[in-house]
Each structure stands twice: as structure tokens, then as C-alpha cells.
Amino acid sequence: MTECTHCEERVKFKARERHQQVICNVYIDGAWDRVEHFHEPCYADAGMPFGEPVD
């Protein structure tokens, strides 16, 4: 189960909805640390903490 970092509700993985979620690979000091998931609107609400999403 994966939760949205912003609203803490479950992020559902459906292929046809893949553009409605944002997946962020978070690096700390150049080393991969974790993946964070957001609903697309939640990512915008959070102020795009990891920059503009890319396809």
C-alpha cells in the first residue's frame, strides 16, 4: 500500500491513471534515499517540493 505524502490517502496504481500521480525519487547528498508518491493535485498543493514533474 502506498500513501500520498501530502494527504496520506492511498495512491492507487492503475495504468490508465498514471498521469494522475507523481512519483518522486528523493536523493540525499547524491544518494538515493526513498520514493515519495503524490496525487498530481496534491503535488501542486504541496508546492512541487521536488520541482516540476516530468513525463
Using CB under 5 A as the criterion, which residues of the chain lie in contact with Zn ion when the complex forms? Answer: 4, 6-7, 39, 42
Q: How far apart are CA 9 and CA 52, in angstroms?
A: 22
Least separation in angstroms between CB 29 and Zn ion: 27
SS3 content of the chain, % helix, strand, coil (to 5): 20, 35, 40
User: In terms of CB distance, is 36 or 42 closer to Zn ion?
Assistant: 42
User: In terms of CB distance, is 30 or 51 closer to Zn ion?
Assistant: 51
User: In terms of CB distance, is 29 or 41 closer to Zn ion?
Assistant: 41
